[in-house]
Amino acid sequence: MLKYAIEVANMTKKFGSFTAVDNISFTVDKGEIFGFLGPNGAGKTTTIRMLCGLLAPNSGKGIVGGFDISKEEEKIKENIGYMSQKFSLYDDLTVSENIDFYSGIYQTKKETRQEKKEAIIKNAGLLGREKEITAHLSTSIKQHLALGCALIHDPKIVFLDEPTAGVDPISRRKFWKVIKDLSDKGITTLVSTHYMDEAEHCNRIALISGGKIIACDAPYNLKLKIKTIENMTPSLEDVFVFLVEKERRSN
């Protein structure tokens, strides 16, 4: 039995002389909903890509589902689901073709493919629209479809990089219900977001700024820490702004 779903120790990623991810360390428990919060360019996507075995770190160690990100990339890809920030569905394919594409790359069992496909279509609210071109779907429906595709092979660990960007509040609630249901089944989710209401739903958050983790705790505990400093009852957004500005001043 693994101690952690994700284990990261002293991981660094440089692009030329620029350090995008700077010596980060953290662990994520099985079934945990772990949030990545941080300003644009903080290093969230770069970290997620390294944990998915898509980008090699310059130094440090990452273990995902018991597999080493630097040596067992193929095993990692089989065991995780990944919804990327910008690209996850082919816009010019139909709904049905996109699902078939993911079934193919994840090599799901032939016997259950049709059943899974129907469930994804139903959950995304796309019954009867299977032949529509994906580009024509609304953002929220497209993101629900992308989530279904990322979960098609029943992964134990799921990486969602800003999955709800541009999605309306009602659809975001529906999306987070799926994440909570996954957590109840013991599936681990690492999710990045710029929405503070979503960050509140995470069991713990890593606050990332300038490639570093500047705080990592449960939302409630993060607020308590700032409260003792500033003598006020902060929102999570106050905590975010306070800690990021403090970190920027110190550089």
Ligand X SMILES: Nc1ncnc2c1ncn2[C@@H]1O[C@H](COP(=O)(O)OP(=O)(O)OP(=O)(O)O)[C@@H](O)[C@H]1O
Q: What is the DSSP string of 45-58?
A: HHHHHHHTTSS--S
Contacts with ligand X: how many residues (CB under 6 A)? 11
Which of these, 18, 12, 139, lies nearest to 88 by C-alpha position? Answer: 139
Which residue of 5, 11, 35, 45 would you call a contact of ligand X, by CB under 6 A?
A: 45
Q: Which residues ranging from 199 to 238 are in contact with Mg ion (CB under 5 A)?
A: none
Q: Are 43 and 192 in contact (CB under 8 A)?
A: no
CA-CA-CA-CA torsion sign (129, 135, 139, 144): positive
Site string for Mg ion, 74-93 (x = CB under 5 A): -----------x--------
Min. distance of Cβ 156 from ligand X in angstroms?
24
With CB under 5 to 8 Å by kind, the binding choice for 20 among ligand X, Mg ion, none is ligand X
Position 251 contacts ligand X (CB under 6 A): no
CA separation, residue 77 to residues 64, 80, 81, 106 (Å): 10, 6, 8, 9
> How crowded is residue 71: how many other Cβ atoms within 10 Å of its Cβ?
10
Q: Are 98 and 90 in contact (CB under 8 A)?
A: yes
Q: Which residues ranging from 85 to 144 are in contact with ligand X (CB under 6 A)?
A: 85
Residue closer to Mg ion by CB (options 43, 65) is 43
Strand stretches in 77-210, DSSP E = 80-83, 157-161, 188-192, 204-209
Min. distance of Cβ 233 from ligand X in angstroms?
27
| C-alpha to C-alpha distance for 228 and 224, rounded to whole angstroms | 6
Question: Looking at 9-17, 43-51, 180-188, 200-208, which segment touches Mg ion (CB under 5 A)?
Answer: 43-51
Min. distance of Cβ 21 from ligand X in angstroms?
7
Q: Are 183 and 32 in contact (CB under 8 A)?
A: yes
With CB under 5 to 8 Å by kind, the binding choice for 90 among Mg ion, ligand X, none is none
Min. distance of Cβ 45 from Mg ion in angstroms?
3
Position 15 contacts ligand X (CB under 6 A): yes
Min. distance of Cβ 125 from Mg ion in angstroms?
27
Which residue of 32, 38, 45, 102 would you call a contact of Mg ion, by CB under 5 A?
A: 45
Q: Which residues bind Mg ion (CB under 5 A)?
A: 44-45, 85
